[in-house]
Each structure stands twice: as C-alpha cells, then as structure tokens.
Amino acid sequence: MCGITGIVSRSIDPAKAQEALRSMNDAIAHRGPDGEGTWNNEHAYLGHRRLAIIDLSDAGKQPMFSYDGRYVLVYNGEIYNYKELRLQLQRAVQGTNERPYFFSTQTDTEVILAAYMRWGKDCLKYFNGMFAFAIYDKENRTSFIARDRLGIKPLYYTLKDDTLLFASELRAILRSGLVEKKVNREALPDYLQYQTVHAPNTIIEDVKMLLPGHFLWFENNELAEHAWWKAEKNVNYESEGKSYKEICGDVKNLFYSAVERRLVADVPFGAFLSGGIDSSAVVGAMTQVASQKVQTFSVVFDEGEFSEAKYSRLVAQKFGTDHHEIKLTPQNFLEQIPEALKAMDHPSGDGPNTYIVSKATRQAGITMALSGLGSDELFGGYDIFKRSYKLEKQWWLNLAPRLFRVPAGFALKNFNRTVSAQKIAEIISKPAINFNYSYPVSRQVLDTSSVKRLLGRSDLPMNSVYRFLRLLDFNDKGHRLSKYSLAEMGTYMQNTLLRDTDQMSMAVALEVRVPFLDYKLVEYVLGVHDKHKYPHTPKKLLIDSLGDLLPPEIVNRKKMGFVLPWPVWMKHELKELCEHNLANLEEFGINRQEINNLWNSFLKNDPRAGWSRVWPLVSLGYYKTNL
C-alpha cells in the first residue's frame, strides 16, 4: 500500500516537471513513510511513496523496472494472488511467444510488470486485489493507468493541453502547481445532496477520478478511457439450480478464501472488531485460516451508551484473539475532529470516525487491518433493501396520476416535518414510484428543494445517483436485491465509504483490506436468486453460510455503529468551528441567508435540519479554507 504520482508530457519544461513531481510526492508523504522514489526521462516523470507490506527489503522500491528496462511501474495496492501468477509467469508456454519472466524480487509489484509484458492490457483480468497503477512504456511512449474492479484504491487525473497528471490523492495534483485550485461548481449540487461527489467528477474543476474497473491509455497526446470490468456484466449465475444448502457452502468457501488471501503480509496485522456481524465474521474466519494468533482492535468507551465493548469482548473470547481495547472518551474523539478534517483529501460528510479508529490502531503497532466493509451492500444489511423490495411490489401506487400525487406530496411535507415524511413526499411526487426514482431520494442528505435554495437555482443537473441507475444495464428478474446491491456499491460505497476509508486510514499509514469485496465473492452473491437472499433476518444468507461460527448474541444484536453526541458538540464545543466554516461557503456561491436558516433550524432542533445534514456543509467550508 503506497501512493503514486505522475506527469506525462511532450512539452513541459523538465525543471518545472521535476519540481512539480517533488511537490506531488511531498503532498502524500503520509501514505508512504517507509521510503520514496522518483524517475524521469524527457517525457515521463513518475513518483512513489512506500508503505512496505510485502517484501520489506529494498527490492520493493519503486518506480520499478521490467528486467529488460523497457517498462516503468508505480503502483499502490496489493495483488493477493501474486504468488500463483508468479509461478505461471515463470513458465514458458509451448507453441506461443510467451517466454518465462526472470524475477529479481519477491514482490507483487514485479508480478504486475511481468503480467503486462505477457498479456498486455488483459493482465488486469488475472489480478485479484486492490490496486491503482501506471506503467510507462519507454519505447513506444505510452502510458497504461488502471484501477481495481470495485474502486478500493483511488486514482485522480487531469489532462491539460498535452500534459497528463495523475496521483493517489487529489491534494497531490493540486500541489503540483500545474492545476488551478478551482472548485467545480457543477459538482456542488451533487455534494450537497449526497455529501460526496460521484466519480468521475470531483470537487475540483477539470480533475477527475478514474472509475472503478476502468483504465486509461495515453498515447500521442490522446487520452482514452475504457471499462475492463463491470459488476453487472460479470455476475456469476452458477448458483442457479443449486439447493440453498449448496449455495451457503459456496458462499462460505468464497468468503474464507477471500479472508485467507488477505492475510499475506510481512508486517504485524490485525482486524477491526466492533462486535457486529461483519467484523465478527471476518475475525472468525481469520482464526480458522491464519497461521498465527489474530490480533483484534476495538475502540471502546466507558459510557455504556456509546460502547460496544461487551460484544467485541464476547467475540474475542470465543475466537481466542489477542484483543486490544482502545479506550476513548467522547472528549478524546472531540479533540481529534480538527485533526481528522485536516487529513481529509476530498470533502466528505463522513470520515472522522474512520480516522480516529485508524490512528489508534496504527499507534498500537499495526500496519495492516481487515475490515467488514462491503457486507451490508452485498448481503442486504441496510433497511433500504427491504423497503425497496416492498415498494416495487406495490405497483398499484402508480395507478394514481402524478397530477394528484404532487399535491398530496406537498400536503404531506407541510403536515409532517420529519425527514422520512419529507422523503416519502418527494418520492410520491416523482414521475413514477419505483426503485430508480425512490433510491436516489432515500440516499439524499439534503432534499432537492433545499439544494435549489442554497444554490439559488431553479433547476439542477441530472441527479448523479439517478443517472447511475439509468445507465445500469442489468436484468433484475428474480434478482431485484442484486440490483439494490449494485446501486449501493456503485454510489454510496464507492464514493463515500471506500474513499473515506482510504483517505483516513492512509493519513496515518494504515492499510485496510476488505475481504467482502473480493470480486469472486461479489460476482457469486450477485447471481443468487432473491428467494435465497431476502434478509428475513439480518444478512440471512451470510449468517446461514457461516453456520455456528458466530455467537447468537452477535447475530441477534441490534445494529449500532458509532453513536456519538454530534448534535451536542456542534451546538457547544464545535459551535465556533461550525459557524466559521459555514461562513466560508458564501465563496462557493452558496446563499448565506439559506445557510443561516439551516443552521438556526439546527440550533432550534428542527428535525429537518439534523446534525448529519449540517456537518457535510461544515466539512465543505473547511475544505475551502484549506484548499
């Protein structure tokens, strides 16, 4: 796990490019405290920051060159099946021009180079892992830049005239001095609605995020983007015709294999353990396949209202882990919030929790940790799965003409001031009552009318989540739940959860691995019929697949997560910070009076102005100040 930077250009002044590359590398020093490296010729400038996880020797230094010196690679991530691929690439294939590759290191980095030399762009199909990398061909002057299937590792880029810049973090591109720090005003509606900006757009004008499962090809000053993997096009339907017991067996095997693959490391590692289903499943599987005692880490509080300690202790005791409780008070949390904001690479309404947990884990001596992220999206862990399934069965709601539904929605908004009522009112006012229209509303932080008022606009660009669903080419007959999973993974998970996890964990040089997002497991579960996957009980398919692995107390506990006194903090200890950063939003063209109205409504405990609707604006204002 590392950070990468790069500049490819035929016209840039060499001294200017080298200075820009140094600044870019310095901007992401936190991602790689174990070393750095740069390389350049007259057209390409590549940089790397190293967090050593596999092969800690100097042999793992980057940029790395192929044995013939033609290709140069910078890479961020892990290829979990690199040992199998290494053996395959060491063998020649009779009757073809595929010759053996002569390895000089034990790294997965060199396996990427060898795979590219043998299979070209198709090498991506062989990798099981999380990655973002760039390969420069010195002979043909081409650049191949790719991102993993599910978007676990980030990659930002921009093309200005004939100069291509790319990096693991947005701040590195901005630090280059070659890109104007100009806010993308067309992305503001997206951010205000969803506390994030959906890829390929970012909060910065002309800087994009490479989509998951895509690669860039840069040749002769022309940049082309191609999709090499899409979840909806790679669904595995092998479960069709199998019994439920057989399907559960398949899921168990795939999950255990995913966990085992992610235990390859030459540094101390462990797992986050909240005591919920997801983290407990990961820890349970780790203890079954690991060759050493598993270390687990839980953030606990003395206050029973906030603490999940009894659940994490129960799991740790069952599996005999080397358990570490990291005690924090709400005051500890509060004191670190400004630090978490400073670590933010792209504005987000979430993230401080991840930063503080990651920091505590890193300080305990752990360099790599496994997380249960992705389970809710894959196994229907959110309430929205049930709600959406029931809604789509109520087709008769569409018999009422929209002419009557719109005023009914307006009346509901005025009669019931709760957030849920406001969302129902917006949904019944849509052209149709179905998933494509309801899901974008369900995930909104601020409703459309609020965003229009804040921006002083009578209309907004097409909703990003709605656009995603319109373009989703997936036959959901018998697989509606899989469609909901695709929606969750393609929007909220990729653009909020994964981005926040990367930027906040790497801010403290901690690598986080996510076994539930192993692509083989994802492809299989997406192909399971609704009748086997419907969550009559929380994540039923996952729980049944694990058998008696988890204690009943964990399976049947109420979903909790971090419950902290954010509303209290924002009205007292964080009030000055909030008001200062909200004032900065006027520079974005956001209406000051509407900001004040929202803030005052929050202070008066208006249910339509909860803290989670105000905090993303505070975060955006902080980002503007520190841009």
Beta-carbon contacts of 600 under 8 Å, excluding residues fewer than 6 positions away, are none
Range scoring the smallest mean pLDDT among 30-34, 420-424, 479-483, 541-545? 420-424
Q: Specify the 3-state DSSP secondary structure of 381.
A: coil
Residue 304 pLDDT greater than 60, yes or no: no
Distance of CA 285 to the CA centre of its chain: 23
Contact 9, 163 (CB under 8 A): yes
Residue 292 burial (C-beta neighbours within 10 Å; 0-12, 13-18, 19+): exposed
Residue 25 pLDDT greater than 90, yes or no: yes
* pLDDT band (50, 70, 90) for residue 302: low
* pLDDT band (50, 70, 90) for residue 53: confident
Cross-strand partners of 45: 7, 40
Distance CA 4, CA 38 (A): 10
Question: Is the bond preceding 200 in cis, omega lying within 30 degrees of 0?
Answer: yes
Report phi then psi at 50, rounded to 5: -110, 130
348: left (phi over 0), alpha (psi -120 to 50) or beta: beta
- Residue of higher predicted confidence among 397 and 365: 365
Residue 408 pLDDT greater than 80, yes or no: no
Cross-strand partners of 39: 46
Range scoring the smallest mean pLDDT among 35-39, 560-564, 620-624? 560-564
One-letter-per-residue 3-state SS of 595-625: HHHHHHHHHCCCHHHCHHHHHHHHHHHHHHH
- Residue 303 has a pLDDT of 57
Distances 187 to 147, 178, 581, 625 between C-alpha atoms, Å: 22, 21, 19, 18
pLDDT tens digit string along 333-367? 888 999 999 999 999 988 888 898 899 888 888 88
Residues known to be catalytic: 2
Residue 534 burial (C-beta neighbours within 10 Å; 0-12, 13-18, 19+): middle
Query: Encoding tokens for residue 206?
Result: 């002309």
Distance CA 481, CA 192 (A): 28
Distance CA 427, CA 148 (A): 34
Beta-carbon contacts of 115 under 8 Å, excluding residues fewer than 6 positions away, are 85, 89, 123, 126, 127
Residue 510 burial (C-beta neighbours within 10 Å; 0-12, 13-18, 19+): buried
Instruction: Kindly tell me the sign of the dihedral angle through the C-alpha atoms of 371, 372, 378, 383.
Output: negative
Looking at the chain, the whole-number percentage of residues with pLDDT higher than 70 is 97
Residue 291 burial (C-beta neighbours within 10 Å; 0-12, 13-18, 19+): exposed
CATH topology of domain 235-379+492-555: Rossmann fold (3.40.50)
Nearest Cα neighbor of 510 from 37, 26, 150, 31 is 31
In the chain, domain spans: 2-229, 235-379+492-555, 565-627
- For 379, the enclosing helix (H) or strand (E) is helix 375-379
- What letter represents residue 596's amino acid? N
> Cβ of 412: how many Cβ atoms within 10 Å?
16
Select from 1.10.760.10, 3.60.20.10, 3.30.2420.10, 3.40.605.10 the CATH code of 2-229: 3.60.20.10
pTM assigned to the model: 0.95
- What letter represents residue 115's amino acid? A
Residue 330 pLDDT greater than 80, yes or no: no
- Residue 563 has a pLDDT of 60
Distance CA 592, CA 102 (A): 63
Q: According to DSSP H, which parts of 240-329 are helical?
A: 244-261, 277-289, 309-319
* pLDDT band (50, 70, 90) for residue 562: low
Contact 239, 247 (CB under 8 A): yes
Distance of CA 409 to the CA centre of its chain: 34
Residue 167 pLDDT greater than 90, yes or no: yes
Cross-strand partners of 223: 218
pLDDT tens digit string along 104-127? 999 999 999 999 999 999 999 999
Mean pLDDT of 125-145: 98
Range scoring the smallest mean pLDDT among 349-363, 466-480, 511-525? 349-363
Place of tokens 């956001």: 590
